[in-house]
Chains A and B, each alone.
Chain A
Amino acid sequence: DTVLTQSPALAVSPGERVTISCRASESVSTLMHWYQQKPGQQPTLLIYLASNLESGVPARFSGSGSGTDFTLTIDPVEADDTATYYCQQSWNDPTFGAGTKLELK
């Protein structure tokens, strides 16, 4: 299985730029996707195929990377962005990162 490693938590102030990283244990090309999950809700898709913004998602969100290293960027961060962010690869059987909890100061 492809293991995805994410930093566990980040704390930023509104208006700042934040980058959330995801490292794959093997190359997944650009078959990496990002989700946002708020407490008590189902995950929602933010970015697919590493850098494509899902329809309806604010342009403050962007994704980059290929191979084993990927980044989700939120710029500027807003209070409503408090959530856990997951990466997911589809190079082989789907796996998710453990999630990065984003808190606002």
Chain B
Amino acid sequence: EVQLVESGGGLVQPGSPLKLSCAASGFTFSSNWLNWIRQAPGKGLEWVASINPDGSSTYYPDTVKGRFVVSKDNAKNTGYLQMNNLRSEDTAMYYCARGEPGGWFAYWGQGTLVTVSS
């Protein structure tokens, strides 16, 4: 059974860093894209990062480029999202999702909540 479990969320002050983790099981982690998607309270879904299977290429939207860094450790079956210089508008539930070759997200974790507030 494919499982993705996020952790690391919490309450942080503006300007602080935070690192999220995504533990994967039930599939060959090293063969799949890993994505991070967030959802602000009461709002829609926003893609925030993607990393290719071997971790050599990463992609971000302009809203987080230069502040967020996605990585994956294929030996540990774990993905990460390092978030720096957090802003109040980064407050959201953060989901990790397995990416399929055609670009859809077949499996999602349950999410971890990040709150940025003073």
Contacts and interface: CB of A to CB of B under 8 A. Distances in A.
Chain B binds chain A: yes
Interface of A: 1, 31, 33, 35, 41-45, 48-49, 54, 86, 88-91, 93-99
B104 A49 contact: yes
State the majority secondary structure of interface residues on B: strand
Contacts, number: 57
Contacts of B95: 42-43
A52 B104 CA distance: 12
Interface string B17-51: 00000000000000000010100000011110010
A98 B106 contact: no
Interface of B: 35, 37, 44-47, 50, 59, 61, 95, 100, 102-111
Given A42-B109, A42-B110, A88-B105, A48 B100 contact: yes
